[in-house]
């Protein structure tokens, strides 16, 4: 029984490590876009909670294209961005209004519904 549980746990860990490794596209570092609501997800491609958010971020990028700017920044690859946005833990999501003013900040995994709720409060349909 212990061996069976160990195998399942090992497989689960491997799946988490491998899942969506490619989900975040390499991109130039973007700043909040003036004139459009922006969400920046600061994390790392190798961080487990960040990997769990990867498919959510990719879905939101597609669903909100032209309506809101959804940006991922890997702070392990771009350490200066962590200082710039004054983050202490990853993942951190920062929401900016249309004027580029920070209006909401969340630390830790954030599910899709919660992200959508914040975007809707900022007037994004």
Nearest to 72 by CA among 47, 98, 44: 44
Of residues 85, 83, 58, the one with CA closest to residue 72: 58
CA distance 70 to 8: 35
Q: What are phi and psi of 6, to 5 degrees?
A: -60, -40
Written as six digits, the tokens of 81 are: 């961005």
Residues that are catalytic: 47, 50
């Amino acid at each position: 029984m212990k061996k069976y549980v160990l195998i399942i746990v090992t497989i689960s860990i491997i799946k988490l490590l491998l899942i969506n490794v490619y989900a975040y596209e390499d991109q130039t570092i973007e700043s909040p876009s003036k004139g459009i609501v922006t969400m920046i997800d600061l994390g790392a491609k190798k961080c487990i909670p960040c990997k769990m958010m990867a498919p959510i971020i990719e879905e939101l990028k597609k669903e909100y294209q032209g309506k809101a700017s959804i940006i991922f920044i890997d702070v392990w690859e771009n350490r200066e961005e962590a200082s710039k946005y004054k983050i202490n833990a990853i993942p951190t999501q920062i929401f900016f209004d249309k004027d580029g003013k920070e209006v909401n900040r969340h630390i830790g995994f954030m599910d899709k519904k919660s992200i959508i709720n914040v975007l809707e409060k900022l007037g994004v349909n």
